[in-house]
Amino acid sequence: MSDLNKLTIKEAREGLLSKKFSSKELVVDCLSQIKKNASNLNTFVTVCEKESIKSAETADISKPLGGIPVAVKDNFLTLGIRTTASSKLLDKYIAQYDATVVAKLKSAGAIIIGKTNMDAWAHGSSTETSDFGPTKNPWDITRLPGGSSGGSAAAIAADEAIISVGSETAGSIRQPASWSGVVGFKPTYGRVSRYGIIAMKSSTDSPGPICKTVDDAAEVLGIISGHDPFDATSIDEVSWIKPSPLTSLKGIKLGLPLSYFSPQTKPEVKTTILAAAETLKKLGAEIIELSDVLDPKYSIAVYTILQRSEVSSNLARFDGIRYGHDRSYFSEEAKRRIMLGTYSLSAGYYDAYYLKAQKVRTLICQDFDKHFTRVDAMISPISPTTALPVGATKGQSMFGEIQDQLVEPSSIAGLAGISIPCGFDNNGLPIGLNIMAPQLREDIVYQIAKIFEDNTEYHLQRPNL
């Protein structure tokens, strides 16, 4: 049997349990697809060929993800496997333990097939800042897949793994999912443990799944979520349980924030999102235009200051004593962020920049709270554009912040959100729909996304590789 790499979790589970194929055959098909696309896409930093085949031979398929290959973003620590965060500074670093997310995936029977490419240290929204070269978009290899979880999103779009995991700090799950035409589920901050993930901006880092379908993403989220005593920001709750799907959205109020359609928004993106809103309306939802939602442009300055400040602290540990090479191996992007963060935190500037940014962050959170008293969830574009050409980041020091401006506010506020395919532009490039809900309301995010997916076919379309 061929093309096993194209299966969803449900299809793979059914095939494994009915013995139509083995876990080894499933893994080998994924490995073959990775090799086929390696030179064109560059989705992986490390491929665990021998290890994954060996694990597949003894896989316990009775487990929830038993025998199913998973691609892991290269900022998750993986015991005995190279973990680089796509930086040459960590080129030869071998992790000494598993991140909690990785441990939970392994416990559920998943097989790590490799570590995916990303923007170095997660600094970017293109995967173009990787020290191991950019990842290309499977829909058009002259385009970027988004980032920083670009390798994880591209790997799923290219059917190189059944599931993948990424991390979002300001949009790094949803934005690459949108540009790559797959599903990216960003959980409430603290819903999934950050333990064992190379920190970028600790106060918003949120690990989450990138998958082929909404059900796949929800399945993985249920497995990797839950309280972790090793993470002080972990929510003290048991694992999230996927709710029953809805047959209608009657009674659901969806806010459409007009400020999220900025002048920079590509006309095709706006048209596609409004068409998705009409689809949701036909499914029973009440669409309420929100004219007074805080303009997402304010999140750009807030995120820039807070992110750089936390980066300057988090990257201070990489001094060349414990983790491979010294700081001369930092890329120009990392150095810029460290310097700006150090400046923002320095005496005389802390109040003017960092403290003020924290106050505006509070206003963003309060603005969401106010509007969620009127609506159950909000919908918007993920990014003002579809996938941009390779090289688009050159000379653009604020590229990531501009591309993430429509998802930065919800990440800053720690909200639950998802990106699902909802259409294509005139060049055949995917467009993602952003569904945002209050903290701990992954249930309604899932239900809205699921019923939209069940009544459309955008998620079924695959790139021609």
Contact, 301 vs 357, CB < 8 A?
yes
Q: How far is CA 32 from the centre of its chain?
A: 24
Q: 148, 152, 312, 419: which is the annotated catalytic residue?
A: 148
CB 439 within 8 A of CB 414: yes
Using alpha carbons, select from 115, 116, 112 the residue that is nearest to residue 52: 112
**Does the annotation mark 394 as catalytic?**
no
Give the Cα separation of 354 and 358 in Å (integer): 6
Asked if 175 contacts 130 with a C-beta cutoff of 8 angstroms, the reply is no
CA angle 341, 342, 344 (to 5 degrees): 65
How far is Cα 20 from Cα 12, in angstroms, rounded to an integer? 10
What residues does 389 pair with on adjacent strands?
Answer: 143
The DSSP code for 137 is B
Q: Across the chain, how many H-helices and E-strands are there?
A: 14, 11
Q: Name which of 84, 88, 305, 72 is nearest 204 in CA terms.
A: 305
Burial category of 92 from C-beta neighbours within 10 Å (exposed 0-12, middle 13-18, buried 19 and up): exposed
Active site residue 172: yes
Q: Are the C-beta atoms of residues 97 and 83 closer than 8 Å to each other?
A: no
Q: Which two tokens stand for residue 124?
A: 């970017």
Q: Which residue has the tokens 């000379």?
A: 395
How far apart are the C-alpha atoms of 84 and 88, rounded to whole Å? 7
Peptide bond into 164 cis (omega under 30): no
Strand, helix or coil for residue 70 = strand
Question: Which of 276, 291, 301 has the alpha carbon at shortest distance from 371?
Answer: 291
Query: Which residue among 52, 125, 130, 172 is the active-site one?
Result: 172
> Among the options 24, 52, 55, 73, which is catalytic?
73
- Kindly give, in sequence order, each residue whose CB lies less than 8 Å from that of residue 319, ignoring residues fewer than 6 positions away: 326, 327
Cα(88)–Cα(147) distance, rounded to whole angstroms?
A: 18
Locate 439 and state its tokens.
Answer: 């903290």
Residue 195 tokens read as: 């333990």
Which residues are tagged catalytic?
A: 73, 148, 172
